[in-house]
């Protein structure tokens, strides 16, 4: 099994990383990446670790989410051989607006 980031999710990750680095410094950014790496490792072993995202029920895929920090949430789907990271949500923003951006 592999993990693939969508273009949109990668762009969101870059924005979050820039924000963390500029506001809190390099150590905080490294802590964030370590947490993210740990979550990716867990997902490879347990793809259904995240809970089904209630705002995305009824979409074309079953979306799951897992909290990275208090301010960020990873949204993903799974299939037989791949975990697809669809978005990295800022939990302080309007959730319905973020949910509407996914298929």
CATH code of the domain in which 70 resides: 3.30.2310.20
Q: What is the mean pLDDT of residues 32-41?
A: 95
For 41-69, what is each residue's pLDDT tens digit?
999 999 999 999 888 888 888 999 999 98
pTM: predicted TM-score of the whole model, two decimal places: 0.88
- What range does the domain containing 57 cover? 2-99
Give the per-residue pLDDT at 96: 67
* Domains identified in the chain, total number: 1
List phi, psi (to 5°) of 60: -70, -20
Environment class of residue 23 by beta-carbon count within 10 Å: exposed (0-12), middle (13-18) or buried (19+)? exposed
Asked if residue 90 has pLDDT above 90, the reply is no
Q: How many helices (H) does the chain have, and how many strands (E)? A: 3, 5
Give the per-residue pLDDT at 56: 87
């Amino acid at each position: 099994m592999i993990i693939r980031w969508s273009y949109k999710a990668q762009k969101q990750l870059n924005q979050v990383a820039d924000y963390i680095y500029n506001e809190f410094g390099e150590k905080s950014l490294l802590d964030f990446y370590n947490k993210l790496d740990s979550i990716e490792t867990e997902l490879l072993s347990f793809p259904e670790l995240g809970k089904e995202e209630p705002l995305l029920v009824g979409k074309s895929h079953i979306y799951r989410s897992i909290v990275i920090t208090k301010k960020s949430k990873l949204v993903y789907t799974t299939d037989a051989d791949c975990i697809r990271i669809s978005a990295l949500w800022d939990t302080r923003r309007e959730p319905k607006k973020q949910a509407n951006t996914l298929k």
